[in-house]
Amino acid sequence: MTLPTGFTEMLHSLLKEEAPLLIEALQQPPVTSVRLNSRKPGATFSDGIPVKWCANGFYLPKRPVFTLDPLLHAGAYYVQDASSMIHREVISRLVSHPITLLDLCAAPGGKTTAMIDGLPDGSRVVANEYMPKRAAILKENLTKWGYPLATVTNRDSSFFARSGDKFDIVAVDAPCSGEGMMRKDEDAVAQWSPQLIEQCATLQKEIVTNAEKTLKPGGYLIYSTCTFNRTENEEVAEYIHKSLGLIPVDMDFPGEWGIPRGIDTDLPVYRFMPHRTEGEGLFLAVFRKPAEETPTDTNLPDSPQAFPAKSDHKKDFAKKGANLALKSPNVKNARRKGDSKPNDADLPEIEEILSVDFDRSKYPEADIDLSTALSYLRREAIRLSPDIPKGPVVITYKGLPLGMAKNIGTRANNLYPKSWRILMR
């Protein structure tokens, strides 16, 4: 891979003697890692090596054909870069009781599901994505993950700033120049330019400004990018602190994790770089909005485990959060046209079936083998064991639901969503 000259020059200016190490690391194959779903136990990776900063994250020695593993489609695990798994750790340090969380730039859902992993049950999550096609992917991934109190929206960040809704935590994994993804994504190499960096920084400041307006007093803003330059990282962090008045929060990650601090800044921000940490490039910063009763307070919480103040999250979400979600075309429980026949309209939605809260006593289940599971995921008709009763059946693989079928005896009509079917053989 040939890196843009301007990019390598920027790295030399930024990292000095470390620059050749990062450039060399960017020429190496990316690592493969997965994060298990603690609410859907079942997947195991016996040859996996634990990720230091994620209790349920593992590096794999080689990349399997994930598409042909039904457990992936059941939501038992998520294929995610190890650096991004830090969001689970951040949430687990900030939260000790159910809260409301808004992920403003959520697609495809990796960081959203990581944060869900760190949330206590009962927390409400709104996962937003501006691009409709990406929002559809986000909805699929969140549905498979199975957390019942997550809603997908398809809005501009300014909508939330105007809505009056307030959240305990707002995450902004901002659109960026993608320098940290260059060894995984050829487009990131092809599209790089100084102009792109400036355009991204302008957009990032706009998004975090809107994020601050939808953040409760005492709540937290999590800002991240997957790029290396200071313009989109430390300089935006300085903007959040100085222009928006948010207080930086030191996550105080253990030294043995090897996560470097920011460059040329006193703010407690963090950089994941392939020559220092095993994973792709990531920048992370956490801020707290001053509480209303002490607007000039600049002290950090005594412990990140102690959230500033409990909120009546159920009442707040019922009054406002749920209402704004229902204005979106990509809301939870919206039926996809053509995903099932009209006379199947009384059957549960795929969101309900894959939810960890699904009442599995409602329908008989048929646990199928790998070959049949792949046929099911291709939306082909399948044959079930003769002892399976006729009618609606929940199809499972290794005990985890994949979806529904209508058993008619000689075969079972496949009710898996058409838009999710796999094409690989």
| C-alpha separations of 315 from 127, 170, 312, 319, 322 in Å | 19, 18, 6, 6, 10
Is the separation of the CB atoms in 104 and 171 below 8 Å?
A: yes
| Matching residue, tokens 């950090």 | 300
Q: What is the pLDDT of residue 346?
A: 81
**Token pair in block for residue 170:** 């707002």
Q: What is the pLDDT of residue 65?
A: 97
374, containing H or E segment = helix 370-377
| Matching residue, tokens 């994060």 | 35
Which residues are registered as beta bridge partners of 208? none
pTM of the model: 0.89
Residue 35 one-letter amino acid: R
> What value, to the nearest 5°, has the Cα angle with vertex 127 and ends 190 and 96?
120
Rounded to whole angstroms, the Cα distance separating 113 from 75 reads: 10
Rounded to whole angstroms, the Cα distance separating 329 from 41 reads: 32
* Burial environment of residue 313 by CB neighbours within 10 A (0 to 12, 13 to 18, 19 or more): buried
In terms of C-beta distances under 8 Å and separation of at least 24 residues, what long-range contacts does 182-186 make, across chains too? Answer: 182/1, 182/3, 182/26, 183/1, 183/25, 183/26, 183/27, 183/28, 183/29, 183/30, 183/274, 183/280, 184/30, 184/81, 184/280, 186/1
Rounded to whole angstroms, the Cα distance separating 286 from 307 reads: 14
Q: What is the pLDDT of residue 297?
A: 33
| Matching residue, tokens 């309900």 | 352
> What value, to the nearest 5°, has the Cα angle with vertex 155 and ends 90 and 202?
70
Q: How many CB atoms lie within 10 A of CB 107?
A: 25
Q: Beta strands 124-128 and 150-153: pairing type?
A: parallel
Q: What is the pLDDT of residue 1?
A: 80
* Structural domains for the chain: 5-326 (3.40.50.150), 342-420 (3.10.450.720)
Q: Beta strands 215-225 and 167-173: pairing type?
A: parallel
Secondary-structure percent of the chain, ordered helix, strand, coil, rounded to 5: 35, 20, 45
> What value, to the nearest 5°, has the Cα angle with vertex 53 and ends 218 and 117?
60
**Residue numbers annotated as active site:** 226
Per residue of the chain (425 residues), give pLDDT as tens.
Answer: 899 999 999 999 999 999 999 999 999 999 999 999 999 999 999 999 999 999 999 999 999 999 999 999 999 999 999 999 999 999 999 999 999 999 999 999 999 999 999 999 999 999 999 999 999 999 999 999 999 999 999 999 999 999 999 999 999 999 999 999 999 999 999 999 999 999 999 999 999 999 999 999 999 999 999 999 999 999 999 999 999 999 999 999 999 999 999 999 999 999 999 999 999 999 999 999 999 744 333 333 333 333 333 334 344 443 444 334 433 333 333 334 444 444 566 899 999 999 999 999 999 999 999 999 999 999 999 999 999 999 999 999 999 999 999 999 889 999 999 999 999 98
Report how far Cα 11 is from the mean position of its chain's Cα atoms: 28
DSSP code of residue 378:
T
Nearest residue to 298 via CA among 253, 252, 242, 214:
242
Q: What is the pLDDT of residue 179?
A: 97
Nearest residue to 114 via CA among 142, 73, 153:
142
DSSP code of residue 70:
H
Helix (H, G, I), strand (E, B) or coil at 316: helix
Rounded to whole angstroms, the Cα distance separating 3 from 25 reads: 12
Q: What is the pLDDT of residue 345?
A: 61
**Token pair in block for residue 363:** 């329908």
Rounded to whole angstroms, the Cα distance separating 161 from 153 reads: 14
Q: What is the pLDDT of residue 292?
A: 72
| C-alpha separations of 272 from 172, 223, 233, 259 in Å | 17, 14, 12, 6
Rounded to whole angstroms, the Cα distance separating 169 from 118 reads: 13
Rounded to whole angstroms, the Cα distance separating 411 from 415 reads: 13
Is the separation of the CB atoms in 177 and 202 below 8 Å?
A: no
Rounded to whole angstroms, the Cα distance separating 107 from 276 reads: 27
